[in-house]
A and B are shown apart, each in its own frame.
Chain A
Amino acid sequence: MLNSKLVSALAVAGVALIGAQSAQAQVIKVDGSSTVYPITEAVAEEFQKAKKNAIKVTVGISGTGGGFKKFCRDETDFSNASRPITKSEMELCKAAGVEYIEMPVAFDALTVVINPKNAFLKQATVAEMKTLWEPAAQGKIMKWNQVNPAWPDAPVKLFGAGADSGTFEYFTEAMVGKAKSSRGDYTASEDDNVLVQGVSRDVNAIGYFGYAYYAENTAKLKALAIVNPKTGKAVEPSAANVENGTYAPLSRPIFIYVKAKSLQKPEVREFIEFYMKNAAALIKEVKYVPLPAAAYTGNLEHVKKNKIGTVFGGVNEIGITIEELMKREAKM
């Protein structure tokens, strides 16, 4: 009796393997950045509701870089990215014959946060942030008054993004001047909630992460105003200050990259149209800064005219404003 059970189990497994290659329902596959994930997730959720689940969408999180790897291997229909595509990724895609349309979807304000009980920090300059975070500071800059003599003789407690995240890459490039160049003696975590907890428990703590985590935890944290190097004025992170371009250099655009070949499929085209039409409202809901309406119609225009490629040339630029981005996209 038992051996017949074994045999049938093996047979089932065997048939499963053979039947495996047969029909698959239409699925739109998305992967990439965890920063962009909440936006695409919200759009996918609403889209499936609107379509009564006739079109299926899956969204994965494997980071901007991991997402591009899959995208350039022709495994996904579009990729979430918290930075523009890099040169090496462009080459990968080119080698695989993957062509894409770049679509900026929103702005994020990288937010430097401190404890709400911190009385001495009102604002900080990029130079001060550099002193605090540059690799040379490791083991040396341990007290606040070493950064600015006006600040007290109190220990500095640092919290920041883990080295694999796009946030870390952008913050170090914007503050220290070189991507991924940072001191190592700070509490690093890929899980931003760990950083939220850390900063909210220590008066002398300072940390950074995406605006959404600050916006959901305003009772526990205070956002630090950063001095705009161009105007010399301290600006707090907010939707308005990102829109008018004054919160610089920590404002960054975030993107989706859509495969040109996938856009020939009606369901992908429909999803992208839905995405661009509903993005503004949904993006506000998940605490990012939407682009002006012209940006979304511009993206759809690019789809119609099949404008392939990137406007960044494989370089991650610091402190680009919405206005500049719009101009550049329009020229394409």
Chain B
Amino acid sequence: MKPLTTEQIRAVIAKGKFRDNLFKAIGVFCLAFALLVIVALIADMLLKGAERFTLDFFLNFASRRATQAGILSAWVGSLLVMLVTALAAVPLGVAAGLYLEEYAKRNWITNIIEINVTNLAAVPSIVYGLLALGIFVYMFGFGQSILSAGLTLALLILPIIIVATREAIRAIPAMIREGSMAVGATRWQTCHYHIIPYAMPGILTGVIIGLARAIGETAPIITIGALTFIAFLPPVPFSEIDGGGSAGLFDWVMSPFTVMPIQIFNWTSRPDPAFEVNAAAAGFVLMVMVLSMNAVAIYLRYKMRKNIKW
């Protein structure tokens, strides 16, 4: 083989550099496109819905008149459903992830469980809705309540939390575990003082990403029977009920409800075009809710990582 001349070598390098730059340009274009889409979406909703951003919009119930209709029952419903979801999914998910990583023996049963958890994350949300309709709404008799909805969404995000917990635990070096056990800590003490605190940033990120997904879900909530028109809020614990007595601490979980995505969907399908403004405004509020949840996740991860000193 003849040695390459200087020109030939230069040509090869130039070709390589050109490809390099081309790939970079494609990458930047893709990124810009993705960003542009989300910015355009948010800006569009903000501009369309601008005239509805008043305090009344947040404090009014749904109405047949677009200008008087608000999202009070929807945002309260969304928050309460998220509360139930978090209370049910976080302990279960974290405990399951911890068990699979730290306690479970490596055998075929564990393998089957692992494969199933990963697969569960890919099950369409409507399937969870159908499952919940049968189990929570009818079998357990929870009815069309905040409790049913919260538990349904908890099932939906459970795999996400389990997977995130396991990833976070796996990222902890084995020497931490070994060091803890070497000085006589039990397995639980190791988990308590080392594994869980160090895995916390990753777990929290998973939890919040899961909740951010759940808050935008519509299909399973419609399946279990969330309402479209509801002009009252769930009972506040210990408040007075009409007809005597006071509400119990947990009466609100059995209350009928609606959530943001359903309210938005209802507004987009109404004959009066004025409701499109409401839908845009409510869409923007929902986006802000999701984005601020993500922001909290990023902040917590940053803050907690700083405190880990290995």
Contact = CB atoms under 8 A, between A and B. Distances in A.
Interface of A: 2-3, 6, 9-10, 12-13, 15-17, 19-27, 29, 31, 34, 37-38, 40-42, 44-45, 48, 53-54, 56-62, 70, 190-193, 210, 212-213, 215-217, 285-287
A16 B64 CA distance: 34
Contacts of B256: 27, 29, 58
A23 B228 contact: no
B197 A286 contact: no
B20 interface: no
A17 B142 CA distance: 9
Interface of B: 62-64, 84, 87-88, 90-91, 94-95, 141-142, 145, 147, 192, 196-197, 225-232, 235, 241-243, 245, 247-251, 253-256, 266, 268-273
- Most chain B CB within 10 A, of A48, A54, A70, A193, is at A193
Contact of A287 (B94, B232, B253, B271): B271
B304 to A, nearest CB: 13
A48 B231 contact: yes
A37 B228 CA distance: 9
A29 B232 CA distance: 13
A22 B64 contact: no
Contacts of B226: 60
B242 A59 contact: no
Nearest to B234: A25
Contact of B271 (A29, A45, A70, A215): A215
Contacts of B273: 216-217
B241 A22 contact: no
Contacts of A21: 141, 254
Contact of A58 (B197, B230, B242): B230
A9 B86 CA distance: 10
A58 B229 contact: yes
A2 B64 contact: no
Nearest to A212: B271
Nearest to B269: A191
Contacts of A45: 62-64, 229, 231
Contacts of B272: 216
Looking at chain B's contact residues, is the secondary structure mostly helix, strand, loop, or mixed? loop
A54 B229 contact: no
B231 A44 contact: yes
Contact of A193 (B228, B229, B251, B269): B269
A60 B263 CA distance: 11
A269 B270 CA distance: 29
Nearest to A220: B273
Contact of A2 (B196, B249, B251, B268): B196
Contact of B242 (A12, A26, A41, A213): A26
Contacts of B270: 38, 193
A16 B253 CA distance: 7
Contacts of B253: 16, 19-20
- Most chain B CB within 10 A, of A24, A29, A70, is at A24
Contacts of A20: 142, 145, 147, 250, 253-254
Contacts of B230: 58-59
Contact of B64 (A25, A34, A286): A286
B91 A61 contact: no
29 contacts: A2-B192, A3-B192, A9-B87, A13-B91, A15-B250, A19-B248, A22-B250, A23-B248, A25-B242, A26-B242, A27-B256, A37-B228, A41-B64, A41-B228, A41-B229, A42-B64, A44-B229, A44-B231, A45-B62, A45-B229, A54-B242, A56-B232, A191-B269, A192-B271, A193-B271, A210-B271, A213-B271, A216-B272, A287-B271
B240 to A, nearest CB: 11
Contacts of B196: 2
Contacts of B192: 2-3
B87 A12 contact: yes
A61 B266 contact: yes
